[in-house]
Structure 1
Amino acid sequence: MKNILIVFLLAFFQSTTAQSTFEYDVVLTPVVVSGLPGLHSYAFGQHNGKWLIIGGRKDGVHARQPFNAFPGAQNNTEMYVVDVATQQTWSASVNSLPTGIKEQLQSTNMNFYQDGDALFIIGGYAYSTTAADHKTFNNLTSIDVPNLINAIVAGTPITSYFKQISNDVFAITGGQLGKIGNTFYLVGGHRFDGRYNPMNNPTFTQTYSNSIRKFTIDNSGSNLSYANYEEVVDAVHLHRRDYNLLPQVFPDGELGYTISSGVFQIAVDLPFLYPVDIKVGGYFPQTQFNQYLSNYHSGKACLYDATNNRMHNLFFGGMSQYYYQNGTLLQDDTVPFVKTISLTTRFSDGNLLEYQLPVEMPNLKGAGAEFIPNENLPHYTNEVIQLSNITDNEFVIGHLFGGIQSSSASAFTDNQTNLTSADPTVYEVKLVKNTTLSTPQIDGKNPFSFTVSPNPTVNDTVRVTFEMPYAAKLNYMLTSIDGKIIEEGEIEDTKMGKNAMNFDISFLNSKMVILTFIFDDKYYVSKRIIKK
């Protein structure tokens, strides 16, 4: 089925061109690095200007047939060291490592975070010879980045630079790993065992994490361990995978993260559009704002302007449900490959805006790529670049490497995965000061809301009222305070304008529940209902 392009209703999706709050041109320059193959969905670390690249895949987007999806022969079994300054590459095979380590480190969509000299890798999905099947690995592995880089360059043994433990809490692929203070945050993702099947035939089992898993790691001795495990569950707002986790400086100066988009919504196979902030004090869905131009994992760069208290997030290509064509914002629910380079900005009052930048990716590429930041720039502990502390008018913020490239926007939907491949290109990413830059700005405001009365209530029925700015599909979910779904469904017979309904809560045992309305498969609104 070919893509169907749907023009936005202009009344609700306004796009205006305005003076940019991000006064830089983005310049991509390809860099030739000999011996570096195309890879996507890998993990990386870096030390003293050299990169360490582990895992991922050598082919393009996965096939739609179970017997063709994620072939083991296309696992990346080499660990690469890259010196982008000298354009050199060295490599070593994972096959010299113990079985548990070598199988995990050739997987795709691992969760990873570099903490000082240690690169921590969790989970990942691939064919396992030991299991004789595809699986999500339940391992936490630590890697001594400087010593492994030196050993690979020198061609000396590498086994002593790895530690590994196993526990099912680490059986996650397609999530992201971060750190706030001394605590690691394993955010979202899913456990997927067996062979991919687009028809949902029983060739696999899949369980979304729906959670933030928090813990500390002790990597100090000869053995690796974790402690202080805590799990925060929300089956509505944390039901995310294959998204971008953005390190952030919030308006009050606190460091944390933001979940950007991701897939799939519970009631429909479409991306989530609203972000979720993660701080020490909890997680906070930002349902008042939708991000349209980047929906899957891609390369991203995060920069904080302390002078103006603005947090900027750049997104490079990938896959998106929305994109511009000849100045018109289009919707394509097959979520095609795009060339878009976009920006979201959080202002001092917490409001968010999204912009399309005037530059695009050279081709349909960027999905599953990584942005490797320039560590020589001033940056916060969570890798956010300190934009205000850079006085140069042009400077390199880092490099993009790899990802999936495609000659067709709809290659996956059309089952023409032969039109896709892993991209071997490295791009230098430079910012050049441009105080006259104007960019299309998208109004991402949520036009929907609802009220519940009385609230708190002693009744078994509450009155829900809402106004629809246009006629739209409406789904609902009731969730417990511990994040589990109690009931879900579709509300019919709604209309444009004012609507009211009685909502039965007599069957609820809990004193507090959360009612979430999903309007038009894209706008989420959640309210707490309290029973006295």
Structure 2
Amino acid sequence: MKNYILKLGVLFLGISLVYSCEPGIAINDNSTSDFGYTLYVDSLANKNAPSLQSFVHAVNGEEWLLFAGRTNQSEDNGGLHDMTGNYTDTSFPPPSYNDSIFVYNVSTDTRTAISLDDMKATLKSKYPNNYKAIQGFESVFRNSNPLVRQDGDYLYVVGGYGPQNFQKTAAKGYNFISYDHVGKIHVPSLVNLVKGDYANVDASKLFSFGRNKQLAVTGAELLKVGINFYAVTGHCFGNNCSGFQKYQDAAYPFTISKDTLHQLTISLGNPITDVIDPTATIADDLSNFRRRDQPIVPAIYKSPANQKIQEGIAIYAGVFKAGNDNNLQAWNDAIYIHPSWANNEGRLFTQDKAYNQNNYNVYACPSFVLYDSASDISHTYLLGGIGDGKFSENGFLSGFTNTAVRIETNIGQYPISSSHELIQPDNLFNKSSQNKAPFYGAEAILFANSSLPLTKAWYTDANGKWQQEETEIIDLANAGDGDIVIGHVYGGIEAFHANPATFGPRKSRASNVIFKVILKKN
């Protein structure tokens, strides 16, 4: 979700899959750290995935559960929002909002779908308690750019952006808002419901919903560290927000519990922030957390107190810095959140002001992280999106890009710091050595290979006892001696210009292209 004036435009698993006949692109890594892998990306021949950007996603075996987001209902209207339009009515055309729930199998290139209305009819007929529960929470299944996190068999959806009234037919009166909903969805049951396998729908687990005004947010990420969820940065954007836009200026920890009648109780903790009150309007001018739509990835750091590897969160780049709306700039530094221990400043985060991403890959894009225990270094890859390293003529940000960066972080070094290397040649997704259209990656998702070994980290449970759990970070020491199949990149915005400024034919559209990502052993 973009700035009120939304200057984004001037920023502007299988191995048995069917692949395109053209060879993939090998992306050489110019790092001086002698990292022993080369990034390799290739598009699949798959054609039947839905075209979606800024969508909700989960995994059930070989199947992807996909809903919400925006799609190409007509004239490629699911692409980049129209930055020349009226953000309260026309920039995000309501007909572009996806109202189907899809189950897609990447191995067989097959999909099953059900509309939101048909799903509600099925609920009313077969699962009346769930039908009652979904009333007033249809926005969970019909929004753009929400916060999404899968935790085991459950999918959590927080916030997002869209019309309060989808029934309007005129150009005005949709009343766009940032939703304050929280949804908890049992992934296997919803998959079976979409497929018509009603015998395997667990009605007691299917849906639970709740609300929290502080979680009316979009353009953020939802991560889980230990027992807490974290809504990280983002902003409230729309007619229900202070001044039409108010950044979160923080990472908000919260817990979710289930009550009777499919209702959720959401309990917020103290925000992790650099300002006294992140809810105050002035915080937008003061906070370094004033950013959104940036790469936010799971991280691990060694506690200086006990040297245990503990879970955390890394924030790289993002938009926008406070200042003149005619000269908006990206953040190019990094923030590391370590919620289990405080640094020398007594804070649960460290801002790495020396880190400079140089306007590359500053926007939400597919990412993955590896940890090399031999060197104590984590490697974060950011793939495509927005930020080609250039400033436009008017001094704003750079455009859509097919570049990639690899970021190195020594997880036991204090204060925490990172360095990055641009991966050459300059085109990750096309059969070209030039960084040229079509561009992919913005608001796309990387579906990780489920067979990859994962790094374990320590956390304290609700009783204060130390526990270990798997993170989402690939354990390089146990990944084998050969190539590493990372997974698949899917969806997002397909842009036909570096600065398309809007959606539409030969401008931009929602993508259904799927890429396979491999790290090849040198």
User: Structure 1 length as normaliser, TM-score?
Assistant: 0.72
User: 1:209 aligned to 2:282?
Assistant: no
User: Where in structure 2 are the equivalents of 1:192-341 lying within 5 Å?
Assistant: 192-194=237-239, 205-219=244-258, 222-227=262-267, 229-234=269-274, 235=283, 236-251=287-302, 252=307, 253-268=309-324, 269-280=328-339, 281=341, 282-292=348-358, 293-320=360-387, 322=389, 333-341=396-404
- SS of 1:239's equivalent in the other structure is coil
Measure the CA separation in 2 of the matches of 1:339 and 1:309.
29
2:36 aligned residue: 23
Spell out, residue by residue over 1:164-195, the C-alpha distance to the aligned partner (whole angstroms, 9 max, x if none).
11121220111111111101111111111149
Distance 1:396 1:128 in 2: 42
* Contact 1:55/1:106 (8 A) holds in 2: yes
Show the counterpart of 1:147: 189
Post-superposition shift, 1:418?
Answer: 5.3
For the 8 Å contact 2:388–2:403, the answer to whether it is kept is no
Tell me which residue corresponds to 1:345. 408
Matched position secondary structure for 1:232: coil
Q: Which residue of 2 aligns with 1:431?
A: 519
| Separation (CA, whole Å) in 1 of partners of 2:55 and 2:446 | 11
* 1:327-476 to 2 correspondences below 5 Å: 333-347=396-410, 348-349=412-413, 350-359=416-425, 360-362=428-430, 363-380=438-455, 381-412=470-501, 419-434=507-522
Counterpart-to-counterpart distance in 2, 1:346 and 1:27: 22
- Structure 1 contact 34–89 (Cα < 8 Å) conserved: no
Q: Would you say the 8 A contact 2:30–2:424 is kept in 1?
A: no
Structure (1/2) with the larger strand percentage: 1
User: How far apart are 1:141 and its partner, in Å?
Assistant: 0.4
Q: Deviations over 1:36-94 (max 9, x none)?
A: 22111112111222211121111110002114311110001111112212222122222
Q: How does 1:47-66 map to 2 (within 5 A)?
A: 47-58=60-71, 59-64=78-83, 65-66=85-86
* C-alpha displacement of 1:398: 1.0
- CA 1:156–1:231 in structure 2 vs 1: closer, same or farther (change >3 Å)? same
Secondary structure (helix, strand or coil) at the match of 2:441 reads strand
Work out whether residues 189 and 202 of structure 2, in 8 Å CA contact, stay in contact via their aligned partners in 1.
no
Matched, 1:127 2:163: yes
Residue type of the alignment partner of 1:375: S
- Name the structure 1 match of 2:75: none
Q: Distance in 2 between matches of 1:331 and 1:393?
A: 47
* 8 Å Cα contact 1:42/1:56 also seen in 2: yes
In our comparison, the structure showing a higher alpha carbon Rg is 1
Q: CA deviation at 1:205?
A: 0.7
Q: Deviations over 1:380-439 (max 9, x none)?
A: 433111111111411311110011111111212x898851111110111111101xxxxx
Aligned mates of 2:490, 2:471 — CA distance in 1: 20
In 2 relative to 1, CA 17–36 (structure 1 residues): closer, same or farther, beyond 3 Å? closer
**Can you give the 5+ residue segments of structure 1 that lack an aligned partner in the other structure?**
6-15, 197-201, 435-532
Partner of 1:511: none
Amino acid of the residue matched to residue 279 of structure 1?
A: H
Question: Secondary structure of 2:272's partner?
Answer: strand
Aligned residue type for 1:183: N
1:77 aligns with 2:140: no
Residue aligned with 1:148, SS: helix
Contact 1:321-1:335 within 8 A present in 2 as well: yes
Q: Which secondary structure state, in structure 2, belongs to the residue aligned with residue 73 of structure 1?
A: helix
Q: What is aligned with 1:168?
A: 213
Question: What one-letter code is carried by the residue in structure 2 that aligns with 1:38?
Answer: S
Distance 1:417 1:17, change over 3 A: same
Shift in CA distance, 356/331, structure 1 to aligned 2, threshold 3 Å: farther
Report the 3-state secondary structure (helix = DSSP H, G, I; strand = E; otherwise coil) of the residue aligned with 2:480. coil
Task: Write the letter of the residue equivalent to 2:95.
Answer: A
Distance 1:178-1:237 versus aligned 2 partners, 3 A rule: same
Change (3 A) 1:99 1:343: same
Specify the SS of the correspondent of 1:146. helix
- State the distance in 2 between where 1:307 and 1:331 align: 46
Contact 2:494–2:509 under 8 Å retained in 1: yes
Contact residue 368 and residue 380 of structure 2 kept, 8 A: yes
Query: Which residue does 1:179 correspond to in 2?
Result: 224
Partners of 1:241 and 1:384 lie apart in 2 by: 23
Amino acid in the other structure paired with 2:271 = E
Counterpart Cα distance in 2 of 1:338 and 1:209: 27
CA RMSD of aligned residues (A): 3.0
Amino acid at match of 1:70: F
* Amino acid of the structure 1 residue aligned with 2:511: D
Pick aligned residue for 1:93 from 107, 115, 118: 115
Count of aligned pairs: 412
Cα distance change of structure 1 residues 20 and 220 upon mapping to structure 2, 3 Å threshold: farther
CA change 1:92–1:382 in 2 (3 A) is: farther
**Native 8 Å contact 1:54 1:106 kept in 2:** yes
The 1:417–1:175 alpha-carbon spacing in structure 2 relative to 1, beyond 3 Å, is farther
Partners of 1:404 and 1:422 within 8 A in 2: yes
Alpha-carbon offset, residue 315 of structure 1: 0.9
The sequence identity of aligned pairs, in percent, is 25
Please list the CA deviations of residues 246-296 of structure 1 after superposition, one character each: whole Å capped at 9, or x if unmatched: 101225522111111111101241111111001113121111211222111
DSSP 3-state at the match of 1:318: strand
Tell me, yes or no, if the aligned pair for 2:42 and 2:515 is still in contact at 8 Å.
yes
Q: 1:23: Cα distance to partner?
A: 1.8
Q: AA paired with 1:291?
A: Q
C-alpha separation in 2, matches of 1:431 and 1:220: 45
Counterpart amino acid of 2:267?
A
One-letter amino acid of the structure 1 residue matched with residue 418 of structure 2: L
Cα distance change, pair 323–340 in 1 and its aligned pair in 2 (3 A): farther
